[in-house]
Amino acid sequence: MKTSPAPCGSAPSAAVKMLAGLAFSILTAGAASLTVAALLSPAPAHAQNIGQRVVDGVVVDATGAAAPGATVFLKDLKTKLIRSFTSDPSGKFRFTQVDMAEDHELWAEKAGHKSPVKTVSQWDARKDFETELKLK
């Protein structure tokens, strides 16, 4: 028995319909598995500041001159622990082993004058946080 091709414009054969349905099923299953994989994958990692940093700088008076003998305070906002340092003859101070995973407040005081409080943020990735504290 000889078969002749279907004339143009005729309905597709059952085999063609079956193949089209199979291709659609494969595409649908692939898209669904990609969607599930995207939902189950972990969120993208953000920079994590794990470790220690140095917080240092200089204390100056209202005129901009070095303020030796000023007391500099560093407060851990989680534990409320306050560390202090007395500025050297050139007004410099230095705190080492400051936890990068916590926020801190930093300020200086001398003879009734106080600097504005500065925040050392856990989101700041610098290993050496250097600043100037100006007494008011």
pLDDT at residue 17, rounded to an integer: 64
Tell me, rounded to whole angstroms, the distance of Cα 86 from its chain centroid: 32
Q: What is the largest CA-CA distance in the chain?
A: 113
Q: How far is CA 40 from CA 34, 36, 46, 62, 124, in A?
A: 10, 6, 18, 57, 30
First CA to last CA distance, the chain:
106
State which fold the 52-134 domain adopts: Immunoglobulin-like (2.60.40)
pLDDT, averaged across the chain: 81
Separation CA 72–CA 87 (nearest Å): 7
How many other C-beta atoms lie within 10 A of the C-beta of residue 117?
12
State pLDDT tens for residues 41-100: 555 444 556 899 999 999 999 999 999 999 999 999 999 999 999 999 999 999 999 999
pLDDT at residue 24, rounded to an integer: 53
Separation CA 94–CA 92 (nearest Å): 7
Domain boundaries, the chain: 12-41, 52-134
Q: Cα 61–122–44 angle (5° rounding)? A: 150
Residue 76: in which H helix or E strand, if any? strand 71-76
